[in-house]
Structure 1
Amino acid sequence: MKRGQILGILALLLVCAVTIIPAMAANETTTPDAATSYYNNAVQLTASGDYLRAIALYDQALGSNTTMIRVSDALLYTYQGKAYAQIQLGNYTEAITTINAGLVEYPNDEMLWNNKGYAQYSLGKYADAVTSYNRALASDGNYTGAMINKGDALVKMGNYQDAITAYKSALETDPGNNATATKLADAEKATASALPVTLIVIVVVIVVAAGFAYSVTRKKPDSSKKASSQPDKKTGSKKK
């Protein structure tokens, strides 16, 4: 995966690392409910790269009473974590299904939208990916990862001008990102190289159109003169 494309996804691990500590601290004084235990174990497996087992535990957490994990936002992180694990396994369609379920509960979560965009991008659905990245940016206008990802999808669509805008926005929020600077330079080169091709296409269209117009308006031979040069044959009945 490209660095720019996974910024939002990797941030999930940092979120999980922070949120798991309060959950564990609570375990010292109270008996955790089933969903909390499944969630905490799933986070640990995700961090260690054991994605299949993590997904199974995320599913068990979602299938349990989610009251407690909903209060601590661990329910949101459960959807994020499960989708992240599915993406790591290349199960992009399943990840989108998980994310859509999460968006029912958290319709404005920028990470869910960003990761949905990444899954769509990976499936070659670039226009849909741009839509998802825009939703992520609508929730967080400074989401650098979504800006970079949006630029990547626009490049795939051949929309270099809008990609340049996206990359420039990303560099405003993260000026030292050399990878994004390289992508911006590549998009600008692509725009410059596309200009002569565009001019050639325009010229060809004009020439073809002119030729067609000439062929239509060109004077055709007057066949009436040829017909009039032949003697008229008068027909009539013979007199008896």
Structure 2
Amino acid sequence: MTRGKISLVTVLFLACLLVVIPAAAAENTTHDAATQYYNRGTQLLTGGDYAGAIQQYDQALASNTSMIKISDALLYTYQNMAYAQIRLGNYTDAIATLDTGIAEYPKDKLLWNNKGYAQFSLGKYGDAVTSYNQALAIDGNYTGALINKGDALVKMGNFQDAAVAYQAALTTNPTDKDTAAKLAAAQKSAASSTQTTLIVLVVVLVIVAAGVAYYVTRKGATTDKKSEAKKNKK
């Protein structure tokens, strides 16, 4: 999956989020500073002003967050802020934001999934798999995390486990042609990798056998020379 497609899960979640949460937060109090910053940040995020959104979310987190925590807008602040940072390519900042959010909400699968995506984008594929596994420990049928995990495993050359992840993703979403194509590619690469490994193993065995044969032959020749030398002395 390309990075654009990987972030699609986040985009879809965000689309639902932007419809519901600002109104809910505003109902709690229109005079709460954190709520106001949060709502402004969400509006800017909707308009594609990611840098402006990050500034507003920063202000929200620097304020008294008691009210936005009650409405779960605090969770969405971490999710949205990290999303904006990812969109700007600020993956290290996104990971820092997500880690802070995870400390508050360790069972939120989207925080873990997006952390995995940020790590993936930095080339930290092993760390990304660990984060995706955390998301899947919360929801084993989380399609986005399964696909993302498969992508990271492919980057690591672990095609067999990648195929398992893609297969699981297809189980949750059987009509996903892109994932089906990824599964086929991973299975082909896994088979090719296995064949290559077998060929290398055979070559190694042949080399070892040849070495042993050479050693035995040489040792035998040396023994024969020593025996001949002893006979001559007699």
What TM-score, normalized to structure 1?
A: 0.87
Distance in 1 between residues matched to 2:195 and 2:181, nearest whole Å: 23
Aligned residue number for residue 169 of structure 2: 170
The AA in structure 2 aligned to 1:19 is I
Root-mean-square deviation (CA), in Å? 2.0
The answer to whether the Cα contact below 8 Å between 1:4 and 1:179 also exists between their aligned partners in 2 is no
Partner SS for 1:185? helix
Name structure 2 gaps, 5 residues minimum.
Answer: none
Flag the structure with higher helix content. 2
Partner SS for 1:124? coil
Question: Per-residue deviation at 1:179?
Answer: 1.2
Aligned residue number for residue 237 of structure 1: none
Query: Structure 1 residues 165 and 74, CA, compared in 2 at 3 Å: closer, same or farther?
Result: same
Question: Per-residue deviation at 1:98?
Answer: 0.8
The AA in structure 2 aligned to 1:53 is G
Question: Per-residue deviation at 1:19?
Answer: 0.9
Distance in 2 between residues matched to 1:213 and 1:48, nearest whole Å: 72
Aligned residue number for residue 192 of structure 1: 191
Distance in 1 between residues matched to 2:52 and 2:215, nearest whole Å: 72
Aligned residue number for residue 222 of structure 2: 221
Aligned residue number for residue 10 of structure 2: 9
Rg larger in structure: 1
Distance in 1 between residues matched to 2:109 and 2:76, nearest whole Å: 12
**Percent same amino acid among aligned pairs?**
57
Question: Per-residue deviation at 1:46?
Answer: 1.1
Q: Map 1:1-240 to 2 at 5 A.
A: 1-2=2-3, 4-10=5-11, 11-24=13-26, 26=27, 30-218=29-217, 219=219, 220-222=221-223, 224=226, 226=229
Partner SS for 2:157? coil
Question: Per-residue deviation at 1:4?
Answer: 4.4
The answer to whether the Cα contact below 8 Å between 1:8 and 1:115 also exists between their aligned partners in 2 is no
Query: Structure 1 residues 36 and 199, CA, compared in 2 at 3 Å: closer, same or farther?
Result: same
The answer to whether the Cα contact below 8 Å between 2:143 and 2:172 also exists between their aligned partners in 1 is yes
Question: Per-residue deviation at 1:229?
Answer: 5.3
The AA in structure 2 aligned to 1:7 is L
Partner SS for 1:108? coil
The answer to whether the Cα contact below 8 Å between 2:113 and 2:132 also exists between their aligned partners in 1 is yes
Distance in 1 between residues matched to 2:16 and 2:30, nearest whole Å: 25
Distance in 2 between residues matched to 1:9 and 1:57, nearest whole Å: 20
Query: Structure 1 residues 97 and 125, CA, compared in 2 at 3 Å: closer, same or farther?
Result: same
Q: Deviations over 1:106-150 (max 9, x none)?
A: 111100000000011111111111111010011112211001101
Question: Per-residue deviation at 1:227?
Answer: 8.1
Question: Per-residue deviation at 1:47?
Answer: 1.4
The total of aligned residue pairs comes to: 228
Partner SS for 1:32? coil
Distance in 2 between residues matched to 1:206 and 1:194, nearest whole Å: 18
Partner SS for 1:176? coil
Distance in 2 between residues matched to 1:19 and 1:124, nearest whole Å: 33
The AA in structure 2 aligned to 1:186 is A
The answer to whether the Cα contact below 8 Å between 2:25 and 2:73 also exists between their aligned partners in 1 is no
The AA in structure 2 aligned to 1:18 is V
